Structure 1
Amino acid sequence: MKRPAFLLVILFVGCVRAEPNCTERRCLAQMLINKEYYSQPQYENCTLPIEVPFIEYQTLAVDTKNLRLNSRLVAAVEWLDPALAWDMSVYKFDRVVLPVKKIWTPQLHVTNGITTSMKHASDDLVVFSNGRVVHRVIINAEVNCEVNLFNYPFAGDECPVAIQTFSTGDCGTGLRLGDVRMIDGSHGDWQTDFATLKKQRDDRNYITVGLSIKYSNPFITLLLPSILIVLADLVSFALPLRGGERNTFKVTLALSFTMFLNILNNELPGDSQCSPIIRTHFCICLILLVLSMLVSMMLTGVAKDGLLIFNCFSKCSARRDKGNSDENKDEEIKADISVVHLDVSEDIQMLRKVVKFLEALDTKKQKHAKYEKIANRGDKIFFWFYFFVASSYITAMTCVMVKYKCKVNHFDFWY
C-alpha cells in the first residue's frame, strides 16, 4: 500500500510542476516568442497559402515625363502557422498580440515595380489560438507603366500593378487575393477611375488601374493656345500689307508659339510606343505660322516694288524706258541743231521739266498701283487657302485626339 501511494504522490507533484505557473495573456505571448519560429511554416506540399482579404490601393502620383506610376498599397494578410497554436484549456485566450519581428512574416512585392518597399503597418500582429496570424503591410512601389499618351490631353489608359510573393518551383508561398478598395482617386492632372483585381494565371495576380488625364489644365495651357494663335494669324490678314505691321505681328506669333513648344517638351516624354500626337499638332501649327509669315513678307515686297516675281519685268521695262528716253533726247538734240529758237524763254524750259517729272511720277504710281493690286489679289487667294487648310486640319486633329486609340503592351515584364 505504501508503494502505490508514494507513486501517486510523485505523479501528482510532477503534473503540478509541468503546468505553467503563469497563465496570463502576456505569459502566453512570451511562451510563443520563446519558440523563435523565424522560418516559414512547412507543409507537405511545401507551399504556404497566404490569404489577402482586401487591398487598399492609392495612386500617389503619375510622372508623365518619365512614364512612372507611384502607388501605395495597404494589404491585410493572413496565414496559418500551427506551431503558434496553444491549448485553450491552459491559456484561456483566443488571441494574443506578438511583436512582428519575433515570428516569420511573408514578403509581398510588385513584380513590375522599378522600386518596391514593404513595411509593416504596425510593430505588432495578432495570433489566434488555432495558429492563424493576422497582419497588415504597406507596399510603396514605383511602376514602369508605358502610359498611352497618344490622345494627350485626352489620354487615358490602364496600368497593371502585379503583386507577387516568394515562390520557387513547388515551394514558397501562394497568394489568394480578395477585394481591392480604391481610395483618393484624384492626384494632380491625373484621375484614378478604377482599380480592379485580375489574373493571367494562378500565380500571376495584378491590379488593373484605370487612369485618365483631367484634360482641363493641359487643354487650357497647351491645346487651346495653339488654336488661338492660328486663329490670330488668320485675323492678321486684315492688317494692310504695306507698313510692316502685319509682318511684325506674325513674327511675334511665331516666337510666342516656341514658348509653348518648350512647355510641351518639359511635360511629355521624349518617345514611347504611342508617342503623343500633340507633338505633330504643334509641328504642323508651327509650319503653318512660318508659311503664313513668309508669304506675307513676299507679298509685302511685291506690293512695294514688285519684289521677286516682278523684279525682272520691272528691270526690262526700265531698260525700255531708258532706251525711249535716249531716243527722245537725241531727237531733241537734233531739233535743237536744226532749228534755233531764239525766243524760247527759261519759263518754258522749266515747264517742260515739270511736265516730265509729273509724267515720271504718274508712271511710278501706276506701277505701284499695279503691284499692290497683284499683291492684294495673291493675299486674298492665300487667305482663303490658309483658312481652308487650317480649319480642316484643326477639325481632323481634334477628332483624332478624341477618338483614335493606340494599343500598348503593358505585360511585357512577364515572359
Structure 2
Amino acid sequence: MLRLLIHSLVKSVFLLFLLIVGCGHAASKCTHRRCLAEMLIAKGYISQPQNDNCTQTVHVPFIEYQTLSVDTKKLRFDSRLQATIMWRDPDLAWNTSVYPYDEVVLPVHKVWTPELHVTNAVSTTMKHSSRDLLVYHNGTLRHNVIINAEVDCEINLFNYPFAADECPVAIQAWANDGCGMELKMGDVRMIDGNHGDWRTDGVSLQKKRDDRNYIMVALSIRYLNPFISLVLPSILIIVADVVSFSLPLGGGERNSFKVTLVLSFIMFLIILNDLLPGDSQCSPIIRTHFCICLVLLVLSMLVSMVFTRVAKDDSFLSCRRLKKSLPENTDDKEERGDEEAKADISVVQLKAEEESRMLHKVVNFLEALDAKELENMRCQHYANKLDRICFWIYFFICVVYFSSMSYVIIKYPCSIDHFVFWY
C-alpha cells in the first residue's frame, strides 16, 4: 500500500513538473504582431516568388494618372502615375491560429517588390510611396508606387493651335523567355487635367494584346493663347497691308508703310521662333501659313514700288509712247513758228518781230508744260487703274487664302501611328 502511494505521489509530481515546464515554454513563445513581422523578415525572401510556370502575376487594381507638362518643341510630355499593386508570395503566409492577425506591416526593402516601367518613355523613375507595405495572412502583398515618366509621343500638331491628339502610355513589367511578371490591369482615373496651354481631356485603360497594356491619354491645346500670340498678329498685318492700298502712289508713303510691315513681320517671326511648335511627321500648318503671309507682303511691296514708278516716270511702255509723241508735236509747232516769223519779217517792223518771237516762245513753253502735265495725268490715271485692279486681285487672294487656311487648320485630319515603339 505504501509503495503504491509513493508511486502515485511521484507520478503526480512528475506530471506537475511537465505541466509547469510546458506552460512556461508556451508563455515564452511571442505571438505579437511585431514578432510576426520579425519572423517574416528573418526569412529574407527578397527574390521573386518562383512558381511552376516561372511567371508571377501582378495585379494593378487602380492607377491615378496626371499629366504634368507638355513640351511642343521636343514632342514629349511628363506624366505621373500612382499605382496600387498586389501580388502573392506563398512563403510569406502564416497560420492565423498561431499568429491571430490578418495583416502585418513590413519594410519594403526587406521583401521582393515588382518593378513597373513605361515602354515608350525616354526616362522612367519608379519610387515607393511609403517605406512599408502590407502583407496579408495568405501571402498577398499590397503596395503603392509612384511612376514619373517622360513619354516620347509624336503629338499631331498639324492643326496647331487647334491641335488635339491621343498618346499611349504603355505600362509594362519585366518578362523574358516565358519568365518574369504578368500584369493584370484594373481601373484608371485622371486627376488635375490642367497644365499650361494643354489639358488632358480623358484617360482610358486599353490593351493591344495580353502583355501590352497602355493608358490612352487624350490631349488638346488651349487655343486662345497661341491664337492671340501667333495667328492673330499675322492676320492683322495682312489686313493692314490690304488697307494700305488706300494711300496715294505719289510721295512714297505707301512704299514706306509696306516696307515697315515686311520688316515688322520678319521681326515677329524671329521673336516668336521659340514659341513655334516642333517639326514632326504632321508638320504644323502654321509654319506654311507664316511663309505664305511673308510672300504676300513682299509681293504687295514690290508691286507698289513698280506702280509708284509708273505714276511718276516714263519707264512703263504706255507712258513711254506718250513721251515720244510729245517732242514731235512741239518741234512741228516750233518749225511753223519759225516760218511765220520769217514771213512776218518782211511786213512787220523789227520791234514787233521781237515781241512776236518772245510771245511765241512763251506760248511754246506753256504748251510744253500743259503737255507734260497731261502726260503726268495720263501716267497717274493709268497707274491708279492698274493699282485698283491689283488691289481687288490681292483682296480676293487674301480672302480665299484665309478661308482655305481656316478650313484646313480646323478640319483637315492628319494621322500618326503612335505604336511604332512596339513594332
TM-score, scaled to structure 1: 0.91
Distance 1:372 1:401, change over 3 A: same
Distance 1:84 1:339, change over 3 A: farther
Using the TM superposition, give the Cα deviation of residue 270 of structure 1 relative to its aligned residue in structure 2, in angstroms: 4.7
SS of residue matched to 1:62: strand
State the Cα deviation string for residues 133-171 of structure 1 (Å, max 9, x = none): 111111111111010011111110000000000111211
State the Cα deviation string for residues 371-402 of structure 1 (Å, max 9, x = none): 01001100111111111111011111101111
Aligned to 1:198: 206
Aligned to 1:386: 394
Pairing of 1:326-405 with structure 2 (within 5 A): 341-344=349-352, 347-405=355-413
Aligned to 2:185: 177
Using the TM superposition, give the Cα deviation of residue 95 of structure 1 relative to its aligned residue in structure 2, in angstroms: 1.3
Tell me the distance in 2 between the aligned counterparts of 1:265 and 1:393.
23
Tell me the distance in 2 between the aligned counterparts of 1:96 and 1:352.
126
Tell me the distance in 2 between the aligned counterparts of 1:118 and 1:110.
10
Aligned to 2:74: 66
SS of residue matched to 2:421: coil
Could you tell me which runs of 5 or more consecutive residues in structure 1 were left unpaired when the two chains were aligned: none
SS of residue matched to 2:280: coil
Pairing of 1:12-411 with structure 2 (within 5 A): 13=21, 17=25, 21-310=29-318, 312-313=320-321, 316-317=324-325, 320=328, 324=332, 341-344=349-352, 347-411=355-419
Using the TM superposition, give the Cα deviation of residue 291 of structure 1 relative to its aligned residue in structure 2, in angstroms: 1.0
Using the TM superposition, give the Cα deviation of residue 313 of structure 1 relative to its aligned residue in structure 2, in angstroms: 3.1
Aligned to 2:3: none
Tell me the distance in 2 between the aligned counterparts of 1:388 and 1:84.
79
Using the TM superposition, give the Cα deviation of residue 239 of structure 1 relative to its aligned residue in structure 2, in angstroms: 1.1
State the Cα deviation string for residues 168-203 of structure 1 (Å, max 9, x = none): 121111111111100111111111101111101100
Which protein shows a greater Rg?
2
Tell me the distance in 1 between the aligned counterparts of 2:115 and 2:347.
123
| Conservation of the 8 A alpha-carbon contact between 1:299 and 1:375 | yes
Tell me the distance in 2 between the aligned counterparts of 1:324 and 1:16.
149
| Conservation of the 8 A alpha-carbon contact between 1:302 and 1:310 | no
SS of residue matched to 2:383: helix
SS of residue matched to 2:387: helix
Distance 1:75 1:335, change over 3 A: farther
The amino acid that maps onto 1:353 is: K
Using the TM superposition, give the Cα deviation of residue 348 of structure 1 relative to its aligned residue in structure 2, in angstroms: 4.5
Q: After TM superposition, which residue ranges in structure 1, 4 or more long, deviate above 6 angstroms?
A: 1-12, 332-340
The amino acid that maps onto 2:197 is: D
| Conservation of the 8 A alpha-carbon contact between 2:330 and 2:368 | no
The amino acid that maps onto 2:410 is: V
Q: How many residues align?
A: 415
Tell me the distance in 2 between the aligned counterparts of 1:20 and 1:297.
107
Q: Percent identity?
A: 62
| Conservation of the 8 A alpha-carbon contact between 2:334 and 2:364 | no
Higher mean C-alpha deviation, range 133-142 or range 347-356: 347-356
Higher mean C-alpha deviation, range 51-60 or range 94-103: 94-103
Tell me the distance in 1 between the aligned counterparts of 2:178 and 2:20.
48
Higher mean C-alpha deviation, range 30-39 or range 50-59: 30-39
SS of residue matched to 1:173: strand
TM-score, scaled to structure 2: 0.90
SS of residue matched to 2:392: helix
